[in-house]
Amino acid sequence: MTSTRIYTAALMVIGDEILSGRTQDKNIAQLATWLNVQGIRLKEVRVVADDMAAIGEALNSLRAAHNYLFTTGGIGPTHDDITVDAVAAALGVPVVVHPKARAVLEGYYAARGGLTDARLRMARVPEGASLIENRMSGAPGIRYDNIFILAGVPHIAQMMLDALTGTLEGGLPVLSRTVGAFAPESEIADLLRETERAHEGCQIGSYPFFNQGRVGANFVCRSVDATALDACVGAVTEGLKALGYETVEGGI
């Protein structure tokens, strides 16, 4: 049963490769999209360096402020993978080898040269944690209380999210509908403000673009109430038409 309670989540992206500009993050949008379906709202993201203190500080701040905290990155076998150690230190618990994770990795590496010390690193968890299945490469994600520790490689993180689908308590999912128009934002700002004010429980976001040499914007209406959302989208559409703009349902 869904409720009107609002459930929030935060994401901590761990990795020097994001902060150096080497890697374009894809986990923020991926997690946000997945959370929407679970009825959970992503409220805050922090990107932190591969640094014990920075990870620990963000972890304790975010896990206290939100129902759920997800992390991505830093759980591989190399020396720069320090997420498990940093999380355990911040939680004040020791790091232990999880017997099931060890068994999974032994199976996975049986035909790949065996379980070396480096590979065994991927079975380490904060004491008391459970595992999140990873069908791709054997090395599991980790759950501890309301903390979900995922891989940094986006398609592995996605598999871990698949394994979590439907298991987290959430509220009503936020619905959204988009209307696009070749209307300069500055000419329809009043319309948007007044329409949002007139439709309680709805939010309107305005996202400008340059497309086919013309200025325009997409107007994204969001609400947990489908009827209110339809009324809001209708009002935006009618308002744009009254100002002489053609509208495109679904956005441009």
What's the CA gap between 232 and 243, in Å, rounded? 17
Residue where the block lists tokens 């944690």: 129
What letter represents residue 103's amino acid? A
CA–CA distances in Å: residue 29 to residues 25, 35, 161: 9, 10, 13
206 binds a copy of itself (CB under 8 A): yes
Binding flag, residue 192, a copy of itself (CB under 8 A): yes
> Is 169 near a copy of itself (CB under 8 A)?
no
User: In the range 88-127, which residues lie near a copy of itself by CB under 8 A?
Assistant: 109, 112-113, 116-119, 121-122
- Count of Cβ atoms closer than 10 Å to residue 48 Cβ: 23
> Which residue number, 43 or 93, has a Cβ lying nearer to a copy of itself?
43
DSSP H stretches of helix in the chain: 16-19, 27-38, 52-65, 83-91, 99-109, 117-120, 154-164, 185-198, 226-242
Which of 42, 69, 89, 159 forms a contact with a copy of itself (CB under 8 A)? 42
Nearest distance from C-beta of residue 128 to a copy of itself, angstroms? 25
User: By CB under 8 A, is residue 28 in contact with a copy of itself?
Assistant: yes
Rounded to 5°, the CA angle 145-146-148 comes to 100
- Determine which residue in the list 85, 106, 185, 230 makes contact with a copy of itself, applying CB under 8 A: 185
Distance of CA 211 to the CA centre of its chain: 28
Return the number of the residue (28 or 93) whose C-beta is nearest a copy of itself: 28
* Interacting residues with a copy of itself (CB under 8 A): 13, 16-26, 28-33, 35-36, 41-50, 54, 76-80, 109, 112-113, 116-119, 121-122, 153, 174, 176, 184-190, 192-193, 196, 203-209, 220, 222
